[in-house]
Amino acid sequence: MTIKQGWTGRFYEDFEVGDVYRHPLGRTVTETDNTWFSLLTMNTNQMHFNTEYAARSEFSKPLVVSTLTVAIAVGQSVTDITQNAFANLGWDEIRMTHPVFAGDTLFSESMVLEKRESASRPHAGIVTVRTRTLNQDGDEVCSFKRTFYVYRRGAEQVEDTFPTPKHPLSAEGA
């Protein structure tokens, strides 16, 4: 039996300034997502959940909560840029550049802007990226810069995180 390692994400050494990662998963935002996020975050602005109120606006319908759009963008980027990160250090230049509505499908990509070794943590480096999110029509709906600590390859904090099984895996089951 051969055990195949799954995708473990990028480490500090894997980032190169100028690289662009197109994150693989698109996400369609639903009315339910928007309503639940509004409730969860205690956002009481009716533009996000009251159809009659929103109909009076220039958009004629509810807007998706902007922090939900940012949260989806961040989530989309994890597999490519922060799977091995352990702390966000900053968020800058957050821009909401186009409205997002229920039914829009969002896609994100990130460009590496800077990287440097950590002076205080030899097991890590610091990376800064610019992430932007597009809707299904190619309109940019948001963008931001994000700086984070990411482990170096071989850091003890990320080695051997899979537990040792008490019994080997077999084709027959338990």
In order along its 174 residues, the chain shows pLDDT tens digits of 687 888 889 999 999 999 999 999 999 999 999 999 999 999 999 999 999 999 999 999 999 999 999 999 999 999 999 999 999 999 999 999 999 999 999 999 999 999 999 999 999 999 999 999 999 999 999 999 999 999 999 898 888 778 888 888 887 765
Q: What is the 3-state secondary structure of the chain?
A: CCCCCCCCCCCHHHCCCCCEEECCCCEECCHHHHHHHHHHCCCCCHHHCCHHHHHCCCCCCCCCCHHHHHHHHHHHHHHHHHCCEEEEEEEEEEEECCCCCCCCEEEEEEEEEEEEECCCCCCEEEEEEEEEEECCCCCEEEEEEEEEEEECCCCHHHCCCCCCCCCCCCCCCC
Task: Tell me what pLDDT residue 81 has.
Answer: 96
Dist. CA 139–CA 63, nearest whole Å: 16
Domain count, the chain: 1
Instruction: Say if 146 falls within a structural domain.
Output: yes
Q: Residue 137 is part of a domain; what is its CATH number?
A: 3.10.129.10
Task: Tell me what pLDDT residue 15 has.
Answer: 97
Instruction: Say if 109 falls within a structural domain.
Output: yes
Pairing of strands 105-117, 140-151: unpaired
Dist. CA 144–CA 149, nearest whole Å: 17
Task: Tell me what pLDDT residue 124 has.
Answer: 95
Task: Tell me what pLDDT residue 174 has.
Answer: 58
| Longest CA pairwise span in the chain (Å) | 64
Dist. CA 15–CA 9, nearest whole Å: 11
Q: Half-sphere exposure (CA, 13 Å, Cβ side) for 11? A: 14
| Backbone angles phi and psi of 35, in degrees to 5 | -65, -50
Instruction: Say if 167 falls within a structural domain.
Output: no
Read off the pTM. Answer: 0.89
Instruction: Say if 166 falls within a structural domain.
Output: no
Range of the domain at 130: 12-154
